[in-house]
Amino acid sequence: MTNEIIVYQTDTQENIEVRIEQDTVWLTQAQMADLFQTSRNNITIHTSNIFKEGELQKISVCKNSLLTAADGKSYKTTLYNLDVIISIGYRVKSQRGTQFRIWANSILKEYMLKGYVVQSSIRKLEKDVHDLQQKSKEFELYIQSSLPPKQGIFFDGQVFDAYTFVADIIRLAHTSIILIDNYIDDTILTLLAKRKEKVQATIFTQQISKQLQLDIEKHNIQYPKIEVKTYTQSHDRFLILDSHTVYHIGASLKDLGKKWFAFSKLEIDAEIILSKLLMVNY
């Protein structure tokens, strides 16, 4: 329970500032004298006897505090909690003591309930944030696991794994696929047939043999058209998606998994490569 000051009004309309802190109320000796309509000296005597008789332990029911007086200066004083206040009320046989105890208990219950509600709200908010963070991590993991890795290596014999990897990349394209590969055959046409509907596919290769030309024509009769052009300026293999994502592949796609090869997603502007293709082919 945070430190707060509220006003208690006596039956004679006197106002006493009461501190609420650490799940109890606190008053100074001067305030208790006003509350019980007795002298400060009388309160001091009763307080001393309470501790002397062992009714209460001073360390548990008292604390020092700085209070600001009417002159604006801060003075060190001792505060006493509800246990002391009630005990003194019994000793001075004050009806006000009973009234104050009823009021204080009511206020404390109200503050504890408010604190419980606030803490419950905070715990719920923390749980909601935790759940949201967990879902965000799960979604991020799902995205990462759903997308091809940015780099890696396939070894001899991993034919199916390599084929599946490239097929997954091809399925990522939304508008266009450009393959630069000097050595292609009909298996490449089959691989590119896995692209999404209406995605344009273009292959740049070193030469187009009569057999390859025949394969292309047969493919294009049955499946969405793949345009194949000659290009002799590239040694490496590149796969460009939607004119902005570039993969560098260390083996011809027709030889995937037959020997070791590495791949990587390049952090370069695809326009650099595309502009070179346009310069040669147009």
Q: Let me know whether 155 and 260 are in one domain.
A: yes
Per-residue pLDDT, 88? 85
Identify whether 127 is part of a domain: no
pLDDT classification of 120: cutoffs 50, 70, 90: low
Domain carrying residue 269: 151-281
Per-residue pLDDT, 51? 92
How does pLDDT run across 213-253, given as a tens digit for each residue?
A: 999 999 999 999 999 999 888 888 898 999 888 988 888 88
Per-residue pLDDT, 242? 92
Mean pLDDT along residues 150-172: 78
Per-residue pLDDT, 218? 92
Per-residue pLDDT, 1? 44
> What's 205's domain CATH number?
3.30.870.10
Final residue belonging to a domain, choices 103, 119, 135: 119
Residue for token pair 């009763």: 46
Q: Let me know whether 113 and 155 are in one domain.
A: no
How does pLDDT run across 162-210, given as a tens digit for each residue?
A: 788 888 889 989 999 999 998 888 989 988 998 999 999 999 999 999 9
Identify whether 128 is part of a domain: no
Per-residue pLDDT, 144? 47
Q: Let me know whether 113 and 168 are in one domain.
A: no
Phi, psi of 181 (to 5 degrees): -155, 120
What pTM does this model have? 0.46
Burial of 143 (0-12, 13-18, 19+ CB in 10 A): exposed
Task: With H, G, I as helix, E, B as strand and everything else as coil, classify residue 8.
Answer: strand
Identify whether 130 is part of a domain: no
Which comes out higher in pLDDT, residue 282 or 8? 8
Identify whether 33 is part of a domain: yes
Q: Let me know whether 102 and 201 are in one domain.
A: no
Per-residue pLDDT, 143? 42
Identify whether 132 is part of a domain: no
- What letter represents residue 208's amino acid? I
How does pLDDT run across 68-95, given as a tens digit for each residue?
A: 766 777 778 899 988 888 888 878 776 7
Q: Let me know whether 277 and 155 are in one domain.
A: yes
Q: What is the greatest pairwise CA distance in the chain? A: 118
Per-residue pLDDT, 71? 73
The number of folded domains in the chain is 2
Per-residue pLDDT, 8? 66
